[in-house]
């Protein structure tokens, strides 16, 4: 007998453990790539190996979950930034978060490619989610009259991807910041 029930929400302690595992794994994969040991990740998260494997039965499942979690956190930051800052400053702050996200993923690139080569799609809806975040930020800026309206969110997304592709390494952060400033300056309305 099969049922079409949605999965039960995690208990608060189980959710905390999952979040700790994802944070420890993000750090480990970003710094060690495919060589990261799952037992060390569990230890750094303060959980046992059984807890890690109960949540993520395979290395690939963990890598994919880390990636999806990071995309969700990046995109979920938009409403808070718009509530705390003026639209153009929210856009500027979010582009810095995007750089942090890309820099962290740099060490995971091989692992993500390996998962994709195995037939899974770790990227799923990430492009659409990121594009929706850019759109929300640019729409707020356009409504405030602080950016040009002839540049599309897709164009801005392409610019961010270009900056990420050429300046994703941590030692290139200053260059990436300058390129972001150049791009954001080009978006501003002129009197």
pLDDT tens-digit readout, 7-49: 556 678 888 999 999 999 988 887 787 678 999 999 999 999 9
pLDDT top residue among 13 and 129: 129
- Which residue ranges does the chain devote to CATH 1.10.10.60? 11-57
- Which residue ranges does the chain devote to CATH 1.10.357.10? 66-187
CATH fold of 66-187:
Tetracycline Repressor; domain 2 (1.10.357)
State the pLDDT at residue 72.
94
Please, which pLDDT band fits residue 123 given cuts at 50, 70 and 90?
Answer: confident
pLDDT tens-digit readout, 77-94: 999 999 999 999 999 999
SS (H, E, C) the chain: CCCCCCCCCCCHHHHHHHHHHHHHHHHHHHHHHHHCCHHHHHHHHCCCHHHHHHHCCCHHHHHHHHHHHHHHHHHHHHHHHHHHCCHHHHHHHHHHHHHHHHHHHHCCHHHHHHHHHCCCCCCCCHHHHHHHHHHHHHHHHHHHCCECCCCCHHHHHHHHHHHHHHHCCHHHHHHHHHHHHHHHHHHECCC
Q: Does the domain at residues 11-57 carry the CATH identifier 1.10.10.60?
A: yes
CA pair distance 115, 68, nearest whole angstrom? 13
Percent of residues, the chain, with pLDDT higher than 70: 93
State the pLDDT at residue 104.
76
pTM, entire model: 0.82
CA pair distance 149, 138, nearest whole angstrom? 9
Whether pLDDT at 140 is above 90 = yes
- Mean pLDDT across 128-148: 96
């Amino acid at each position: 007998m099969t049922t079409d029930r949605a999965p039960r929400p995690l208990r608060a302690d189980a959710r905390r453990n999952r979040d700790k595992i994802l944070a420890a794994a993000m750090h480990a994969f970003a710094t060690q790539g495919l060589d990261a040991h799952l037992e060390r990740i569990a230890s750094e998260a303060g959980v046992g190996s059984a807890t890690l494997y109960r949540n993520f039965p395979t290395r690939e499942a963990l890598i994919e979950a880390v990636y999806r979690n990071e995309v969700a956190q990046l995109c979920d930051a938009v409403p808070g930034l718009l509530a705390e800052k003026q639209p153009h400053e929210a856009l500027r702050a979010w582009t810095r978060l995007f750089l942090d996200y890309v820099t962290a993923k740099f060490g995971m690139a091989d692992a993500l490619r390996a998962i994709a080569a195995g037939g899974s799609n770790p990227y799923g809806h990430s492009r659409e989610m990121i594009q929706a975040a850019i759109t929300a930020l640019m729409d707020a800026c356009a409504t405030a009259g602080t950016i040009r309206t002839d540049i599309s969110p897709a164009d801005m997304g392409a610019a961010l991807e270009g900056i990420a592709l050429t300046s994703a390494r941590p030692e290139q952060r200053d260059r990436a910041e300058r390129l972001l400033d150049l791009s954001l300056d080009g978006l501003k309305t002129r009197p």
